[in-house]
Amino acid sequence: MTAPVSGPVRRRITVRGTVQGVGFRPFVHRLAADLELAGFVSNTANGVLIEVEGPMGEVGRFFDRLTEQPPPLAAVTGVGFEDVPATGVTGPFTIRPTEQSAGRTQLPPDTATCADCLRELADPADRRHRHPFITCTHCGPRFTIATGMPYDRAATTMAGFPMCPSCAREYGAPDDRRFHAQPVACPDCGPRLRLIPADGTDVRPARDTDALATARALLAAGRIVAVKGVGGYHLACDATDPRAVATLRARKERGGKAFAVMCADLGTAERVAALSDAERAALTSARRPIVLLRRRTPTDGLRLADQVCPGSPHVGVMLPYTPVHTLLFGLPGDPPGPRALVMTSGNRSGEPIVTDDAEALTRLASLADAWLAHDRPIASPCDDSLLRVRPDGTEQVLRRSRGYVPRPLRLPLPVRPTLAVGGDLKNAPCLGEGDLAWFGPHIGDMGDLATLEAAERAELHLGRLTGVTPRLVAADRHPRYHSTGWARTRSTRLGLRSPTLVQHHHAHIASAMAEHGLDGTTPVIGVAFDGTGYGDDGTVWGGEVLLADYTGYRRFAHLAPAPLPGGDAGVANPCRLALARLWAAGLPWERDLPSVAACSESERTVLRQQLERQVACVPTSGMGRLFDAVSSLVGVCHRAGYEAQAALELEAAATEAWHADTRAYRFGFRTLPPLHEVPSVRPLGALDRAGRWEIAPPLRAVLADLRRGTPTPVLAARFHRGVARAVTEICRRARGTTGLTTVALTGGVFANALLEEECAALLATDRFTVLRHREVPPNDGGLALGQLMVAGTATNHETE
């Protein structure tokens, strides 16, 4: 029998996860002091190292409270401990300087200003009253100011702002909320705001409040102000001023694409849109994303200018997440200003967001009337995140960036050190090693040199923060993708072999599998719908049902292909896509059809020659292109000024009649296996040639309804329901052939809320397990995770 320990014991504890930059060391210090334990805590490159010494019971209580009551922003993923010889030390518990060593820890994302800081911001008696950079251990920038790891002030863009004596005392006081808060500052020692008018005069006001008051007055007067935030510049204007919004839209060359709106507070947001409890929680969360909300009618609430989100029943809304935003709207007693601001990324459409002050003065010179800038550098650009809340309260992230990055995702299988570069649209690279993956911030569309350079900077910055050195690079198979070319260049610079190329829709499905923690032991029925993906046969895929795991896939079924006249350039003309679909289905171009009438006679002549001679007509099975075509066919959208405009407007039309009409157009099927059940999963390699679902039957039904004068919203709703029922039928056939019962819904088309909800409901009723994206976007913003899983877990790789 072991004798009880009567003297002091010492325990060494290692904590892994998001434990730096969240007040974890101050929390440990207070806990140890409360229990009168000796020892120390220190940041290391692997997390946090703690040694505590004292009576066994108190050491045990310390360990329990450490794991059960971590700080609010901490995310503990692992705790290890070992008992070591007691030293007899009885001095106070201390915080040691950070250890410099090889390893890895996790940095938290930027978070919105906390309630305590907001209270101090508005308190005239507080020394940080109206300080635009107020922060503490529970809020503020982290990712966008970090230049390296471990996370200490010297490794942030605050290194150039030495603390004044008052801030230094708070930083060093264990009982203070700013104890070891790296961005801590005050009006005496922190960054400063400045207001720069259009003539370029750098105005450095005596007080930050002067710059803010001037900016607010400019916004109230209908001007456009470039506002520097934590992750880049925004272009802001009064969202209720039609002329200001129209001017911003014209200057930015944005076409009809919707703007996001920042509301001064939750009450203002509720005047703009009707909020569910889950939407309210998402808006007010520390992440502060843009949330897609159903607009109120102008008579019910705050009237936004029509040009904020033309043709859409939804509006993207966010709340202030920095002190600068809060002060820009004004505190009680300030001169009034707009209560809702358009807040769109500070760039021209298609370019990366601007972060550098000098660059902002040149690149935004023709866009802004003034600049509200500050002198704290931005280490990494980070655009606003975007999500929608489903009826069941779950979230679907459509752009994963600020508030999420660089929080890692846990992987179901370990991967070798890999860089996955993603695709050319909505690009977001991903680094992975072991059982963790880190997405970089949203980059955008890889259409020019500036965006490619931004992607490379983002990957290098992410590498510094994670410690991942890639031994493999993964990319899309498309031979002309800019991202694939960047992957080749990056592989060469790293001294690695050519990139591992992953089929586009296989990557989408693997992304959904990984997000849901599937280890790939059993394949899934992957329904991957988007506009464009390079297919195995050299054509454009995008209406795919694949049987897939991480090691491979088989094309079970696909949408019947049709010519894509003009290739990618033709996507801007849904009316031409509609005529190409009619031509492929053997249906006439009758002059009174909306899509026929939208094309000039000469345009129709050239198009017919293209189709008959198959000149510049790549076959496409893309579901996104079918939505575009039907949008024009029923008279909704004939010319698209931005990506997915036709499909978005078709969804908006369908919403109007969704509950009034429940009928659906029927698709035809060819060469699909018969519907029967089998007792076990059939190997992927044992399938016959892929089946396809035919478009002619629903197109004929649409034409017949047009002849009857059926309202456009009803046509749109019947098409959406028809696609959902066809998906369910194909999945039944796949289950009957293979025994598989899990369906992954993925690809950009599943950002369509009506389609995703209807597919999920029908499949669940039919006893399928349905995987829907949550934190990882269904569009190409989530593509890199699938590339990572396919390439990083494989033993044999396809290269160029």
Q: Kindly write down the DSSP assignment for every residue of 68-97, as one continuous string.
A: HS--TT-EEEEEEEEEE------S--EEPP
Contact 388, 313 (CB under 8 A): no
Q: Which regions of the chain are under pLDDT 50?
A: 1-3, 102, 675-688, 796-800
Give dist(CA 692, CA 725) in Å, integer.
15
Compute and round to an integer the Cα radius of gyration of the chain.
28
pLDDT of residue 680: 38
Contact 681, 740 (CB under 8 A): yes
The β-bridge partners of 742 are 769
Phi, psi for 318 (deg, rounded to 5) = -140, 165
Contact 749, 530 (CB under 8 A): yes
Q: Is the C-alpha dihedral spanning 306, 309, 314, 318 positive or negative?
A: negative
Q: Which stretch of DSSP H or E encloses residue 210? A: helix 208-220
Model confidence, pTM: 0.92
The sheet carrying 75-84 orders its strands as 75-84, 9-18, 47-54, 38-44, 94-95
Angle (deg, nearest 10), helices 696-708 and 712-738: 160
Burial class (CB in 10 A: 0-12, 13-18, 19+), 588: exposed
Give dist(CA 574, CA 633) in Å, integer.
9
Contacts of 796 (CB under 8 A, 6+ apart): none
Q: Which stretch of DSSP H or E encloses residue 375? A: none
Contact 538, 753 (CB under 8 A): no
Contact 79, 69 (CB under 8 A): no
pLDDT of residue 795: 55
Residue-wise pLDDT tens digits, 625-665: 999 999 999 999 999 988 899 999 999 999 999 999 899 99
Strands (E) across 691-785 are located at 691-694, 742-746, 769-772
Give dist(CA 264, CA 306) in Å, integer.
19
What residue type is 332 in one-letter code?
Answer: P
Contact 322, 300 (CB under 8 A): no
Contact 117, 136 (CB under 8 A): yes
CA distances to 64, 81, 119, 709, 799 from 38, in Å: 17, 16, 35, 82, 56
Structure tokens at 549: 């795991």
Can you tell me whether residue 595 is helix, strand or coil?
Answer: helix
Can you tell me whether residue 777 is helix, strand or coil?
Answer: coil
Give dist(CA 565, CA 617) in Å, integer.
4
Determine the distance from the C-alpha atom of residue 284 to the mean position of all C-alpha atoms in its chain, rounded to a whole number: 17
* Residue 659 CB-half CA count within 13 A: 0
